[in-house]
Amino acid sequence: MELAAGSRDATWKSAVPVLMGCLGGVLCVRGEHSASLLAVVLVLAGCTSRGVKSIWQQRLICLEQLGPARLAAWAAVWTLLLTLPFAIIWEGASLFRAMPGASKHALCATLISCVAAVLLNLSQWTSMRYLGPVMQQMFGNLQLVFVLILAAVWLDEACSPEQVLGTVILVIGVLVAKAAPEKVHNARKSRLSQVPQPGYQATETPTRTKSVVMADESIPPHLECAICMKLLLEPVSVPCGHTFCQTCLEQAMGYRNLCAVCRAPVPPGQSVNILIRSMISEQYPRALAGRRREVEEELRQAERNAEEERQREVAGDAPAQTEANGAGGDVIILPVLRHKRPMLPQCRIGHELDSQGELVVNFAVQGGRRICMMPPEGNTGVCMNVEHLRPAGRQAAQVALVGKFRVRLTEQPHLHEDGFELGRFEAYFDTPLPLNLLGREAPQEGADGEEPAPLVAEAAMQAVERQLEMLGSGSRYVFTESCGEPPAALRRRPGGTLTSADLEQLSFWLLGAIMMHDGDRKQWVESTDTQKRLLACRKKLKEAGARPVLNLPGSDSWMHPTQSSWSSLVLLLVVLAALLAKALGLFDSWGRNPSRQSLSSRRFN
């Protein structure tokens, strides 16, 4: 079945275990005293139908990225629809009429069988994901071994020599199949990732029939990316057989999960084709070096553009509030609003103002709509932009703020005539990342280099997405309202070139999206190392696993699951003690007046 589906190569290493499994099963059946040719045919038909079902299951659970529980549920629906008409025809309503008068043992057995069926279906889908069709069928045939053992021990039946021989062949076939999957899997990867022939590409794109010359090396058309029309850099082969640059493919999949050439579905999470990458590096080293220089130049230009955009953001819309200092940088004059908890760039907060805070915000609204949120102690803070101000009425004034960038005091703030602080600040940012950490090229095996920052950021974002999937759609809306959307650069350029500024914004967004102690958050806010901040966020999400760690409203409560388990244990002990005291009657005499109780007893007497 896998050969017909094209998911396995026709090699003797993959064919021998299958043939041994079929032969062993046939011998086990022929060893029965009442065996016949019809029984053998039915066994072969059953194995064939199970093989077709296994291929379909593998396509669903691997290519469509569906979970075992969802697929088992849909399979149960179709099974019910197919079997219900036959059950009604042959049995009618006798089952439902017999249920009220059934014994407890029968009801318990029915319930246990239902639970066992559900667990069996879930385990079958899960084993399909990790074992594949062949290994699942081979392990499934081992049930014949257990049947023979039970028949011999429990029912005192004698096993024929054919059954013993078939059982031995089955076990050997399973051992051979277990030793072969890794090589078969590698063969499958090489088949999917093999380089397409030039003739195949010529029929697909007739305009690309000539080789491209790069750095005195002629590049054949099948080694060019169909999206950027350049030499493949970090090539990724998709299941339909086409190969693209990793960055180009991720950018294309940011819009739709389809192949850019044939529009076939492309599952996410495709890895780099090591075969094509090593072939390009060995046969076309100069062209590959020139291609990498082009990418480095693009990164440098993107870094320069990002730095200019930063400077424009610091200057803002109020030139009167900036002046050149002696060091050649920009000094920003901002009103100061003190806050106990450390603020983050890129964060969104709603703050309730007192009378002094309302004066600060009113002063900012009249100018550049900027204030500096600072802790009671320290010389660093965050420049916040005033989005909305609701003046005080029956309730206290409310202001909506958005973090922009970090600032540092250049001198001690002085008091304004209205009584609030006014300071001179200079903006500061993280140290720009080196170009080798801005690329998406994964480190080679055995290399001691650091992991590229975009890969760390993508892993952290995937962990956040898994946390949101566990919490549900309602929590996703609350999370977006509380922490905001991811930085615009990721939504604008999915899978594209990320600059140091983009990764810095993402690191602060992740820092605000994760539950963390104020001391740790303050430490990472003051740090200027984007790479270490991203690694810390990814480590926090990885260590959490299935435990929720997202910074949702109420997450800092002592009863929240993210807090220490000792608080939950203490609460449980208190509840148990209260129930025990109630059961012992210790609360019965509380709240009663002894004199009234004695008076009522005398009246009753």
Cα-based distances in Å from 500 to 205, 343, 445: 37, 21, 26
Provide the Cα torsion 199, 203, 205, 211; round to 10°.
20
The percent of residues above 90 in pLDDT, for the chain, comes to 6
Q: Which two tokens stand for residue 28?
A: 């086990």
The CATH homologous superfamily to which domain 198-292 belongs is Zinc/RING finger domain, C3HC4 (zinc finger) (3.30.40.10)
The token pair that represents 109 in the structure block: 């057995």
Q: What is the mean pLDDT of residues 535-549?
A: 86
Q: Which residue has the higher pLDDT, 589 or 27?
A: 27
pLDDT tens digits for 202-243? Answer: 333 333 444 455 545 678 888 889 888 889 988 999 988 899
Q: What is the number of H-type helices and E-type strands within the chain? A: 23, 12
Q: CATH code for 316-428?
A: 2.30.130.40
Query: Quick one: pLDDT at residue 519?
Result: 84
pLDDT tens string 405-419: 999 999 888 888 888
d(CA 505, CA 487): 6
pLDDT at position 72: 77
* Three-state secondary-structure class, residue 120: helix
Tens-place pLDDT, residues 79-101: 888 888 887 888 777 777 777 77
Return the bridge partners of 351, or none.
399
Cα separation of 203 and 196, whole Å?
11
Cα 195 to chain centroid distance, Å, stands at 30
Reply yes or no on whether the pLDDT at 577 is more than 60: yes
Instruction: Return d(Cα 315, Cα 329) in angstroms, integer.
Output: 11
Tell me, what's the pLDDT at 491? Answer: 53
Residues linked to residue 213 through DSSP beta bridges, in sequence order = 218
Give the number of other CB atoms < 10 A from CB of residue 219: 21
Q: What is the pLDDT of residue 562?
A: 46
